[in-house]
Structure 1
Amino acid sequence: MAEIVFEDLVRAHRRELLVHCYRLLGSVTDAEDVVQEVLLAAWRGLDDFGHRASVRTWLYRIATNRCLNALRDRARRPPPAPVPPFTPPTPSRFGELTWLQPYPDTLLEGMPATDPGPEARYGAREAIELVFVTALQRVPPRQAAALVLCDVLGYPAAETATMLDLTPTAVKGLLQRARASVDRDRDGVSRQPAPGDTDLVRRFADAYSADDIDTVVALLTDDVWLSMPPAPHEYHGLAAVTGFLRAGADWRAGHRFRLHHVGANGQPALACAFDDGRPAGLFVLTLAEGRIRGLTRFLDERLLRYL
């Protein structure tokens, strides 16, 4: 009987808890592990719950603090960097967010329709985009937690303070710093899909599959970036990205990629495979003003099982 009661309490919240943990951790595999811990902790604490808060708030409090524990205990040990199959051009810089993973749109299906309330500053779509999740990874964990609880989920500062065991004044300070950092990193990238986006993605897929690098480059913005988690190499600016794309095409020497459309982070995404069927990672595209501003290529083919 207790198992049935518990399952009834948490069933509607599993998927939104997974999204919440993903935002804070930047990794869907880590988020899955933490959600299992959350459900176990909730099961053990069911007798003490006593409905002093809503089930949703109770679960979010457990999930947020479990994420903070995971971030502290793990100290962000980076995954092993893959060995490049060719000598790449010198990167613009070496990034630190090598644990970043995409979030499959299939896991967003069936999410309960919840009203985040007037406190929220970000819509559900923009709060799952890669540029937003990436920005969260660059701020201290408590700042990220305060921002997600207040500005994504719409909890008031006073309630957020209770969930984080802080004072409302402390939460307001965390929010102020986190908002400045996240807004700077997002730099106005987020927007609603434009009518030509589907055609733009198709043109990119066709050109990249054909190793037509000139056409690919014509689709990019001047300030385009390319990153490749878990590899730390990042390329920023049209010249740097073009150099990397040409080096990759030269290495393939006629062994073409096949790309097919999938969904990740509410953005256009393309699964890659060599022409012999071997998986070759996943592109998530960030679009801006009718062009491609960001190319995030996830090299771990195990991620394809989520799509």
Structure 2
Amino acid sequence: MEAEVFDELSRRYRWELHVHCYRMLGSFEAAEDHVQEVLLRAWRGRESFEGRSSARTWLYRIATNACLDTLRRTTPPLQPYPDQVLDERPGPEAAVVERETISLAFLAAIQLLPARQRAALILRDVLAWSAREVAELLDASVPAVNSAVQRARVTLRERWPGGREEWAPAGEPGAEQRELLERYIAAHEQADPEALVGLLREDVVLSIEPGVGEWHGAAQVAPALREGMMSRGRWRMLPWAANRQPAVAGYVLAEGDTAYRPFVLGVLQAEGGRISVMKAFEAPELFVTFGLPVELGI
């Protein structure tokens, strides 16, 4: 394979491979690292590409195997995926990032699947590959792939009996969700925990990554939010968007400090005008990665 041809393939498929690695690993940073590794492996092995499959299938094989290698050793922390990166490839490729298959709910659920089940499900149900194509990529038999996909579907069905339509809210955020996000931000910036609690559904779920905890129902979530809001300092929040969901970038001004510092990224899901799911990521290092300000002035 000529260098010019390889460069064109890299440009054409890099973003798509990034999203695939993100689904496999659940981590934006790990996906970044893996795409670099995938392209390096592909370059080193370019002479072995014999054209018996498409270049896209060849690159997906390398990407999937790289992710499986990593998952045998470790489990990367779940991270959000900023919408500004998802929007870099409009048009037909947008099918790669349909809302329900890039939602944090879906990402969190498939991270619970065994790695090869996860790979088979993503290739079969998200990317719509045939069972034969998946079997060839995974060096497995078609019956083995069908069995793995069936087991993965059962696991997801136990969580969402209604199917993939339940994986994420339908449609783009509307005026109601934008207003809810504004009220969420105002409650923090005005240090009004009761206003924040008033935005919650009774069945709300709050999770804080990496590994801080998970709370179910307003009775559990409300005390956690009150404590978190009032113990950190003064808040400033920027509206944001990640995984096709409304989100915020939260900054905290600690006592005696001279600027608001990055603290948390929050991704929200709403139903019926109230917050149903809150996923918080206490990962200040991601602010730079996502192009967010490193500090906000007083």
> Could you tell me the TM-score, scaled by structure 2's length?
0.87
Counterpart pick for 1:226 among 191, 203, 206: 206
**Per-residue deviation at 1:115?**
6.7
Higher helix share: 2
TM-score computed with the length of structure 1 as normaliser: 0.85
Residue 207 of structure 2 aligns to which amino acid in structure 1?
S
1:25-83 deviations in Å (ceiling 9; x for gaps) = 01111111111111111112211212221211111111111111110033x3x7xxxxx
Between stretches 132-141 and 40-49, larger displacement belongs to 40-49
State the match for 1:174 in structure 2.
148
Q: 1:229 touches 1:297 (CA, 8 Å); kept in 2?
A: yes
Residue 185 of structure 2 is aligned to residue 205 of structure 1: yes
> 2: CA distance between counterparts of 1:301 and 1:31?
18
Q: Does 2:83 correspond to 1:70?
A: no
Which of 224, 232, 254 aligns to 1:244? It is 224
Aligned match of 2:196: 216
Alignment of 1:124-203 (within 5 A): 124-186=98-160, 188-192=166-170, 193=172, 195=174, 196-203=176-183
Shift of the 167–112 alpha-carbon distance from structure 1 to 2, 3 Å rule, reads: farther
CA contact (8 A) 2:100 2:167 kept: no
Partner in structure 2 of residue 305 of structure 1: 288
Alignment coverage as a number of residue pairs = 279
Look up the match of 2:81. 103
Displacement of 1:222: 1.2
CA contact (8 A) 1:18 1:32 kept: yes
Give me the whole-angstrom Cα distance separating, in 2, the residues matched to 1:8 and 1:155.
Answer: 23
Of the structure 1 ranges 237-246 and 202-211, higher mean CA displacement relative to structure 2 is found in 202-211
Which residue in the other structure is 1:92 paired with? none
Q: Secondary structure at the match of 1:225?
A: strand
Note closer, same or farther for the CA distance 1:249–1:112 as it changes in structure 2 (3 Å cut).
Answer: closer
Q: Distance in 2 between matches of 1:227 and 1:298?
A: 9
Do residues 10 (structure 1) and 10 (structure 2) align? Answer: yes
Q: Distance in 2 between matches of 1:150 and 1:116?
A: 17
Instruction: Output the CA distance in 2 between the equivalents of 1:173 and 1:204.
Output: 44
Alignment check: 8 A CA contact 2:86 2:97 kept: no
Distance in 2, matches of 1:137 and 1:302, equals 22
Q: Deviations over 1:178-198 (max 9, x none)?
A: 112223335625222353111
| Distance (Å, rounded) in 1 between the aligned partners of 2:26 and 2:42 | 23
**Which structure ranks higher in relative contact order (CA pairs < 8 Å, sequence separation ≥ 6)?**
1
- Structure 2 distance, partners of 1:186, 1:226, is 18
Displacement after TM superposition at 1:129 (Å): 0.8
What does residue 285 of structure 1 align with?
268
Q: Unaligned stretches of 5+ in structure 1?
A: 79-98
CA distance in 2, matches of 1:257, 1:28: 26
Report the CA distance between 1:4 and its aligned residue.
2.2
Give the RMSD, CA atoms, in angstroms. 2.1
* Runs (5+) with no aligned partner, structure 2: 254-258, 291-298
Quick one: distance in 2 between partners of 1:16 and 1:123?
A: 9
2:82 and 2:93 map into 1 onto residues whose CA distance is 22
* Percent identity (aligned): 44
Task: Decide whether the 8 Å contact of 2:173 with 2:245 is kept in 1.
Answer: no
Query: 1:285 is paired with a residue of what secondary structure?
Result: strand
Letter in 1 for 2:43: W
Q: Is 1:116–1:153's contact at 8 Å kept on the other side of the alignment?
A: no
